[in-house]
Copies of this chain bind each other. A is one copy, B any other.
Amino acid sequence: MNLPLGFRYSATFAGIRKIVKDDLALIVSDTRATAAAVFTQNRVAAGPVLIARKNVRAARGRMRGILVNAGNANCATKTSEKVAIETSRAAAKMLGAKAEEVLPASTGVIGVELDPRLILDALPQLVGGLSADRFEDAARAILTTDLVMKTAFAEVKGARIAGMTKGSGMIHPRMATTLAFVMTDAVMAPDALRTVLKRACEKTFNRISVDGDTSTNDTLAVLANGASGVRPRLTAFEAALTEVLESLARQIVKDGEGAKKLVTIDVEGATSERAAEKIARCIANSPLVKTAIAGSDPNWGRILSAAGNAGIAFDPRRVDIDFQGVAVCRGGVAAEFSEDELKARLDEPECSVRFIIKGRGRGRARFWTCDFTEEYIKINASYRT
């Protein structure tokens, strides 16, 4: 892995989680970095989201770092915003940065007061531990119910991009889902970075679903510190960023709570990209589709029915559906296929669904979801987030 220049990382256990495992991470750029971020669209936004949004604006898109904790969402508590301000300021001070130059982020249980002392007391050790090669320590510290660490890397004309993310439940395609942090040493202007981030996010993090719920804390932030001196063309940078975000997004779905299969859904032939996306989202969120896939049941009727709930007009008699490349529905009715053979292929860890509306429509969209297993219920019925 090629890490971008000019960044340092740290992680420590601050006592926020119930188990002893790093729960506090710090990402720092040696110099001010161009910053852009997208946040949850949930009306109930956590304190750190409100403060992060304010800070990015106050700092005019030039930030020094990200302070993030797992184990407590710092949301729906009396002191939520206060804690986010106090802790991010303290970190900024220790870094010699302005108060607003650190972006706070939190993930974990909602509605439980987060004691700022835990973080304040851990800060000296956290800052002391900053190192250019502790990227993975930080990536591990932000995980909650995740089973695996999630990172992705790309290069563009000699500049490097490195991303980390967390999340395996409460994953829904509204926007920046869960926490994700991307560092690059490319030279980027704030406006350009914002535009590129929005577009890349739209096609990646906004197109995944595990359970259709959007969290109160979703944050996706990019820091571009220019340390490489490379000023890539915007289209090239956007392609590389999209590659990193797509990889991270897919890793989230693959690690979806209880998920055994990653499902890629392609919708083609809709009247617009937006229409295609809506249909894909309805298929991706249907518990009946997701349970059928869990059972390796090529039940295309559920896919057709779920698509019909998207609020998008289409003629069912012009719909073709493929499962794992096998034609299961042609013109809205059953195609001839070997069910046993297809069932066996559906046992694979990756599963593809193609939903094609024949005609002149050029709208297409790709979406990722996972199957819905008994394990998901087990995790969420017993686990107090």
Contacts and interface: CB of A to CB of B under 8 A. Distances in A.
Contacts of A382: 295, 297
B42 A385 contact: no
Nearest to A214: B309
A316 interface: yes
A268 B374 CA distance: 34
What's the interface size class on A, roughly? Answer: 35 or more
A305 B111 CA distance: 10
Interface stretch (A127-135, A186-194, A286-294): A286-294
A326 interface: no
A15 interface: no
A211 interface: yes
A84 to B, nearest CB: 15
Given A110-B302, A334-B111, A381-B297, A312 B43 contact: yes
B287 A385 contact: no
Interface string A245-260: 0000000000000000
A215 interface: yes
A306 interface: yes
Nearest to A211: B287
Cβ-closest 8 pairs across A and B:
A110-B301, A295-B381, A44-B308, A291-B380, A43-B308, A42-B308, A111-B301, A374-B374
Nearest to A332: B76
B44 A304 contact: yes
B44 A212 contact: no
Interface of A: prevailing SS = loop
Interface string A299-319: 111101111111111101000
Contacts of A292: 380-381
Interface string A202-218: 00000000011111100
Contact of A285 (B73, B111, B212, B314): B212
B76 A304 contact: yes
A287 B311 CA distance: 22
A211 to B, nearest CB: 5
A112 interface: yes
Contacts of A42: 305, 308-309
Contact of A216 (B77, B308, B313, B374): B308
B301 A76 contact: yes
Contacts of A75: 301
Given A212-B212, A287-B380, A292-B380, 13 more contacts: A43-B309, A44-B304, A76-B329, A109-B301, A113-B334, A211-B288, A212-B285, A213-B286, A215-B305, A291-B380, A302-B385, A374-B377, A376-B377
A384 B334 CA distance: 14
Nearest to A313: B43
